[in-house]
Amino acid sequence: MTETIEWVSVGALGEAFRPDNNSLESVADLGGQTLLLDLEDGRSFEYTFADAHTLRWEIKCGDGIGQWSEESYTATSPRPGVYFVDFIASKRRATSVSLVIDLNKNVLTAVIGRMPTEDETREPFSEKIRLGKMLTSVKATFLRGTVGKPFSISEDHHPGTSDLIGRRVEYVYSPTEKYEHIYLNAEYYTWHCIKGIEKELCDTDRCHYYKIDNNLYLFVWQEKIVPTLGVIMIDFDKLKTTGKICGYTENAFDALTNFSVGAFATVVNSVSRPEHAE
């Protein structure tokens, strides 16, 4: 007998997560401010936050100088002086921008996500394996930067980290949606839906970890079955997350869903491995 597995679109996932969710409230702290962001790729951006929901960016130096756009954004603050800013880049195809702006250190970490074209999703896994490609077709680019000063490698940037490896954590996003993550190694984690629209679905996907502060992390994943980019910040002091999930609304590849998420976290257990022991 052939079993049928129904994978859920990101649009349907967003609808399921929306009611009575545990997302952090948006903040208006950045409204009225202009920040100069210098990135390690040589570009300087001027970000002007008109209010709590609208920003204008312009490239002031480097490739693309003079380019600008106005965007609708969301901002949350998991800790004082640290902001998670997220928006869809309106002038680029299927691209999202997530910024961890750390005004305590005057540094930032940018995550530029790009959803695949339909043709990219059609490439068989067997062919990707043959060519040595990643199985996921979702792209994620990471850039370090500084706030209000020229970029320097010597600044206190957010480093990659192995702190999460070996932990098993449950996340409650709403009364109806509950997941667990198992952080396996430096490049992969396993997710499993315990309760909700994706109940009993699970997979192991590509991921990335950055340490923002003590017990505060940036975690990013790229799913391969349903093209999905997740970008969240995890505060293990407060046992709370904030972030977003992005992907195509349906399977037509013509509209994006980019929605805020937040969860209450419970550390189920933690396995200490010799190569990652503190």
What's the pLDDT score for residue 274? 55
Mean per-residue pLDDT over the chain, rounded: 95
| Gap between the Cα atoms of 243 and 265, Å rounded | 13
What's the pLDDT score for residue 271? 85
Considering just the CA atoms, what is the radius of gyration of the chain in Å? 19
Q: Could you tell me the CA-to-CA distances from 96 to 113, 146, 276 in Å, in that order?
A: 5, 20, 32
**Roughly how many angstroms between the first and final C-alpha of the chain, as a whole number?**
48
Q: Are 214 and 222 in contact (CB under 8 A)?
A: no
Output the CA torsion sign for 28, 29, 30, 33: positive
- The helix/strand count (H/E) of the chain reads as 3, 17
**188 beta partners:** 206
Count of domains forming the chain:
1
Greatest extent of the chain over all pairs of C-alpha atoms, in Å: 63
Q: Is residue 61 situated within a structural domain?
A: yes
Structure-model confidence comparison of residues 1 and 109, the more confident one: 109
What's the pLDDT score for residue 107? 98
Q: What is the pLDDT of residues 19-75, one digit of tens each?
A: 999 999 999 999 999 999 999 999 999 999 999 999 999 999 999 999 999 999 999
What's the pLDDT score for residue 1? 44
**pLDDT above 90: residue 252:** no
**pLDDT above 50: residue 277:** no
What's the pLDDT score for residue 257? 97
| Gap between the Cα atoms of 192 and 102, Å rounded | 31
**pLDDT above 80: residue 272:** no
- Residue 219: phi, psi to the nearest 5? -125, 130
Q: Is residue 249 situated within a structural domain?
A: yes
Confidence of residue 5 (pLDDT cuts 50, 70, 90): confident
Q: What is the pLDDT of residues 164-198, one digit of tens each?
A: 999 999 999 999 999 999 999 999 999 999 999 99
Q: Is residue 120 situated within a structural domain?
A: yes
Q: What is the pLDDT of residues 187-241, one digit of tens each?
A: 999 999 999 999 999 999 999 999 999 999 999 999 999 999 999 999 999 999 9
Q: Could you tell me the CA-to-CA distances from 242 to 49, 85, 145, 217 in Å, in that order?
A: 20, 10, 21, 11
DSSP 62: S
Q: How many CB atoms lie within 10 A of CB 273?
A: 10
| Gap between the Cα atoms of 217 and 236, Å rounded | 8
Confidence of residue 2 (pLDDT cuts 50, 70, 90): low
Count of CA atoms in the C-beta half-sphere (13 A) of 104: 13
Q: Is residue 1 situated within a structural domain?
A: no
Q: Is residue 5 situated within a structural domain?
A: no
Q: Supply 11's token pair.
A: 């649009």
Q: Which domain holds residue 29?
A: 10-276
Q: What is the pLDDT of residues 122-175, one digit of tens each?
A: 999 999 999 999 999 999 999 999 999 999 999 999 999 999 999 999 999 999
DSSP track, 10-24: HHHHHHHH-TT--PP
What's the pLDDT score for residue 278? 42
**pLDDT above 60: residue 273:** yes
What is the model's pTM?
A: 0.95
Q: Are 21 and 263 in contact (CB under 8 A)?
A: no
Q: Is residue 60 situated within a structural domain?
A: yes
Q: Supply 10's token pair.
A: 């990101």
Q: Could you tell me the CA-to-CA distances from 168 to 93, 106, 152, 181, 278 in Å, in that order?
A: 35, 32, 36, 6, 17
Q: In sequence order, which residues have a C-beta less than 8 Å from that of residue 83 and are 6 or more positions away?
A: 27, 29, 30, 75, 76, 77, 99, 100, 101, 102, 103
Q: Is residue 194 situated within a structural domain?
A: yes
Structure-model confidence comparison of residues 105 and 1, the more confident one: 105
Q: Is residue 217 situated within a structural domain?
A: yes
Which amino acid is residue 99, in one-letter code?
L
Q: How many CB atoms lie within 10 A of CB 154?
A: 5
- Residue 250: phi, psi to the nearest 5? -135, -160
